Amino acid sequence: MNILGIETSCDETAAAVVKDGKTVLSNVIISSLKEHKKYGGIIPEIASRRQLEYINLVAQKALKNAKLKLQNIDAVAVTNSPGLVGSLLVGISFARALSFAIDKPLVEVDHIKAHLYANFLFPVKDKKFESPVLPAIGLVVSGGHTSLYHIKKFFSFKLLGETRDDAAGEAFDKVARILELGYPGGPIIDRLSKQVEPSDIRFKSAELKDSFDFSFSGVKTAVLYHHREHKQEKNFSVINVCHAFQKSVIDILIKKSVLACQKFKTKTLVVGGGVAANSALRCCLTKEAQLNNINVCFPVTNLCMDNAAMIAGLGFHFVKKAKA
Ligand code: KG4
Ligand code: ZN
């Protein structure tokens, strides 16, 4: 079954074709990110205007790259939430009109859960790929969300905890802004942190004991005060601050994910969202998971970011369920 996925929740206009919820036949993304950079964050009006311009083009390209015609599409899947209202409206209106025109079912998909589904997509070039096994613990770390789920089936996600304030990616972006590094902050902090030198700087993210919730606003504020107090000093190192901040975020993500696996006696951990591209998180979580006999999975980097393949992939299971 070929599903055409449409995703327009933030700055991206994306379309993809996925076969049987597994094989990514095409995955097209146009982002308006460059236009937002000078504002240090996404401007919803700019995002939705671009999406209106690009959506048809992107959908056509997804079909062309998959070497398919519209009549080969069995259903349309679209992100329905969460996201910027104007942006979601563009994708949903397009998908509804298309499904009506080709007389094929439309399914609406949650963006956050779809981030985790990216782990179940076959990277076309990876012939040895083995799909993770459910039940699993799912850790979503994106620009807007940080949540832990217990996933029993693709229609049964139980929320265990989420951030009480900033999302992990949002904290990366805000800290990069404080340090005047640019936007989006995650990839910049990731890159700079690799050049760390020995230093005493330490930050700590809130523990929120006995809860699977997260909080990152405290560590962000700690970076702000540290920067204000020390930035004029001769030996002040932005690199060391980045590294210490990043470590505090990934330490708590790792700790709570492993605890959730232990509590729910789950041997599979799937990670999704933009921050899942973070090299230190990938490396440290993989090591910690091995020590705890947990199989941890990350999507390939381009599927960590917002994309429509994850929407088409999860959408497949809804179409299948509706037909059963
Ligand atoms: O999942 P995503 O593409 O969009 C949302 O649904 O929010 O995530 C974007 C977020 C941004 O906050 C960005 O700074 C962060 O992911 N990000 C990273 C890295 N690459 C992207 N954070 C840490 N390390 C990275 N390498
Ligand atoms: Zn996302």
Token pair 């340090």 is found at 179
For the chain, give the secondary structure using H, E and C. Answer: CEEEEEECCCCEEEEEEEECCCEEEEEEEEECHHHHHCCCCCCHHHHHHHHHHHHHHHHHHHHHHCCCCHHHCCEEEEEEECCCHHHHHHHHHHHHHHHHHHCCCEEEEEHHHHHHHHHHCECCCCCCCCCCCCCEEEEEECCCCEEEEEEEECCEEEEEEEECCCCHHHHHHHHHHHCCCCCCHHHHHHHHHCCCCCCCCCCCCCCCCCCCCECCHHHHHHHHHHHHHHCCCCCCCHHHHHHHHHHHHHHHHHHHHHHHHHHCCCCEEEEECHHHHCHHHHHHHHHHHHHCCCEEECCCHHHHCCCCHHHHHHHHHHHHHHHC
Other beta carbons within 10 Å of 159: 12
Which tens digits make up the pLDDT trace of 128-156?
778 899 999 999 999 999 999 999 999 89
Ligand 1 atom at shortest distance from the alpha carbon of 144: 7
Ligand 1: which residue has its CA nearest to atom 16?
Answer: 274
What's the rounded Cα separation, in Å, for the pair 95 and 8? 11
Token pair 């690009």 is found at 54
Q: Which residues are registered as beta bridge partners of 271?
A: 139
Ligand 1 atom at shortest distance from the alpha carbon of 246: 23
Separation of CA 195 from chain center: 25
What's the rounded Cα separation, in Å, for the pair 44 and 51? 11
What's the rounded Cα separation, in Å, for the pair 316 and 323? 11
Non-local (6+) Cβ contacts of 33 within 8 A are 11, 12, 184
Question: 308 CA to middle of ligand 2, Å?
Answer: 10
Among all ligands shown, which has an atom nearest to the Cα of 166? Answer: 1
What's the rounded Cα separation, in Å, for the pair 38 and 165? 25
Non-local (6+) Cβ contacts of 126 within 8 A are 300
Residue 208 structure tokens = 């929120």
Ligand 1: which residue has its CA nearest to atom 10?
Answer: 143
Query: What is the pLDDT tens value at each position of the chain, 324 positions in all?
Result: 999 999 999 999 999 999 999 999 999 999 998 999 888 888 999 999 999 999 999 999 999 999 999 999 999 999 999 999 999 999 999 999 999 999 999 999 999 999 999 999 987 666 777 889 999 999 999 999 999 999 999 989 999 999 999 999 999 999 999 999 999 999 999 999 999 988 889 999 999 999 999 999 999 999 999 999 999 999 999 999 999 999 999 999 999 999 999 999 999 999 999 999 999 999 999 999 999 999 999 999 999 999 999 999 999 999 999 888
What's the rounded Cα separation, in Å, for the pair 26 and 65? 6
Ligand 1: which residue has its CA nearest to atom 13?
Answer: 186
Beta strands at 146-153 and 136-141: parallel, antiparallel or unpaired: antiparallel
Ligand 1: which residue has its CA nearest to atom 21?
Answer: 274
Model confidence, pTM: 0.95
Among all ligands shown, which has an atom nearest to the Cα of 11? Answer: 1
What pLDDT, on the 0 to 100 scale, is given for residue 124?
66
Residue 157 structure tokens = 């996600």
What's the one-letter identity of residue 256? Answer: K
* Residues having CB within 6 Å of any atom of ligand 1: 10, 142-144, 169-170, 172-173, 184-187, 190, 273-275, 277-278, 305-306
Ligand 1 atom at shortest distance from the alpha carbon of 145: 7
What's the rounded Cα separation, in Å, for the pair 25 and 6? 14
Q: To test ligand 1's pocket by mutation, which of 115, 275, 278 has the most ligand atoms within 8 angstroms of CB?
A: 275
